């Protein structure tokens, strides 16, 4: 059966709640915490991702017999390009200089989340060909909603190929991820590094905790509202310095604490009774995702300890395959995090603008590939003979 043979009814939904937890999670599966219903519901019902903040939910669903939700694509109408981490500000400027309105655009993503997460969510009982119908439905919605373009970010390679087969343009970028090669301990991991890098990491870990600082892990029912109060202070400080104003509000953190605490890992650095730093991670089936960090006391190397080395410790202890430590950050390279390619796909409605973007992306992809090749030469691992 081809996708043309499938009876497809596409519909947009103004919130995750309109789809409902049961139907959403049946399509989302258990692999990735960022596509769970609870995560989207917290973003939207807390007021963090709404039309008022420039994230107007327009989730695309494919409807089958008996109003069954066969497939979902999380999507938002955007009036700006904040909180996406795949930067298209130059595209918006060029579109405006040509006399067009780049906004609104359709953003297919998890708001404020630069992490790999599926965007083509399929009901296990639905035919796999429906995955190919979702990009077509998004392209149609782009026109119907009066958007200039649609952008699906942080895709898997397999999802990218589906979008490309539907005529979308490929864009590449780079992040740094740590891979667990069945390490038995952090020291076992260090044995895979060159002597100089191994000594440097041990020195950083010693100095970060030299004054008796203790690191505490909290997950599940151990996380309290008081913990969220403490962490939110750190998040606000870091968010204000990075983005001008934090994207997420305090209610969001309470909601994920109530509804998906088993997928949350809070790491706190404590100096006696005083909590001086915190890091928020999300636990996937085989991946630990680092998201936010903050501190109220400067301690050399504490950021590296809490966000990178403790994450590796947790992944090894829980036999997770990788750690994704968030967007950008070439400094992760020296700490065992290797460069990997990230993927996005783009539908540009205007033919001439599409042609210009396509030419730009050819050059950009070549630059990203070259940069990754060069970065790979400087990993801290011992050279294999």
Q: What pLDDT sits at residue 291?
A: 96
Q: How far apart are CA 374 and CA 378, in angstroms?
A: 7
Half-sphere exposure of 67 (CA within 13 A, CB side): 3
Residues 93 and 160 in one domain: yes
- pTM of the predicted protein model: 0.94
Bigger pLDDT: 328 vs 110: 110
Q: Could you tell me the pLDDT band of residue 243, with boundaries at 50, 70 and 90? A: low
- The mean pLDDT value of the chain amounts to 95
Helices (H), the chain: 16-19, 21-28, 37-45, 89-97, 130-144, 157-165, 186-190, 195-208, 225-243, 250-259, 302-304, 310-317, 351-376
Residues 313 and 355 in one domain: no
Q: How far apart are CA 304 and CA 335, in angstroms?
A: 8
pLDDT digits (tens, 9 = 90+) for 59-73: 999 999 889 999 999
CATH of the domain at 283: 3.40.630.30
pLDDT digits (tens, 9 = 90+) for 81-95: 999 999 999 999 999
Sign of CA dihedral 20, 347, 53, 36: positive
- Please say if the pLDDT value at position 326 is more than 90: no
What range does the domain containing 228 cover?
181-320
Residues 136 and 14 in one domain: yes
- Please say if the pLDDT value at position 2 is more than 50: no
Domain total in the chain: 2
- Please say if the pLDDT value at position 277 is more than 60: yes
Residues 10 and 150 in one domain: yes
Residues 126 and 198 in one domain: no
Q: How far apart are CA 238 and CA 245, in angstroms?
A: 9
């Amino acid at each position: 059966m081809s996708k043309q043979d499938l009876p497809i009814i596409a519909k947009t939904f103004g919130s995750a709640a309109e789809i409902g937890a049961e139907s959403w999670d049946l399509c989302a599966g258990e692999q990735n915490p960022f596509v769970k219903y609870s995560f989207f519901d917290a973003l939207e019902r807390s007021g963090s991702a709404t039309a008022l903040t420039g994230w107007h939910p327009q989730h695309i669903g494919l409807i089958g017999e008996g109003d069954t939700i066969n497939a979902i694509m999380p999507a938002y109408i955007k009036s700006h390009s904040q909180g996406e981490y795949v930067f298209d500000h130059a595209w918006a400027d060029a579109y405006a200089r040509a006399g067009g309105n780049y906004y609104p655009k359709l953003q297919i993503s998890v708001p404020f989340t630069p992490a790999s997460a599926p965007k083509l969510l399929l009901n296990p009982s639905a035919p796999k060909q429906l995955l190919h119908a979702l990009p077509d439905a998004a392209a149609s919605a782009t026109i119907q909603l009066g958007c200039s373009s649609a952008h699906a970010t942080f895709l898997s390679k397999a999802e990218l190929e589906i979008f490309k087969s539907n005529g979308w343009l490929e864009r590449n970028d780079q992040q740094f991820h740590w891979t667990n090669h069945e390490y038995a301990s952090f020291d076992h991991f260090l044995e895979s590094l060159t002597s100089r890098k191994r000594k440097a990491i041990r020195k950083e870990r010693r100095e970060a905790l030299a004054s008796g600082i203790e690191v505490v892990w909290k997950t599940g029912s151990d996380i309290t509202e008081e913990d969220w109060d403490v962490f939110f202070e750190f998040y606000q400080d870091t968010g204000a310095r990075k983005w001008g104003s934090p994207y997420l509000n305090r209610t969001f953190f309470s909601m994920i604490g109530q509804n998906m605490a088993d997928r949350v890992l809070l790491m706190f650095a404590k100096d006696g009774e005083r909590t001086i730093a915190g890091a928020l991670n999300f636990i996937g089936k085989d991946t630990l995702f680092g998201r936010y960090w903050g501190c109220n006391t400067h301690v050399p190397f504490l950021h590296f300890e809490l966000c990178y080395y403790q994450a590796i410790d947790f992944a090894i202890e829980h036999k997770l395959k990788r750690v994704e430590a968030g967007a950008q950050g070439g400094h992760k390279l020296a700490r065992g995090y290797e460069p990997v390619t990230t993927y996005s796909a783009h539908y540009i409605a205007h033919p001439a603008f599409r042609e210009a973007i396509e030419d730009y992306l050819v050059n950009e992809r070549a630059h990203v590939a070259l940069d990754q090749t060069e970065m790979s030469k400087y990993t801290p691992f011992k050279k294999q003979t």
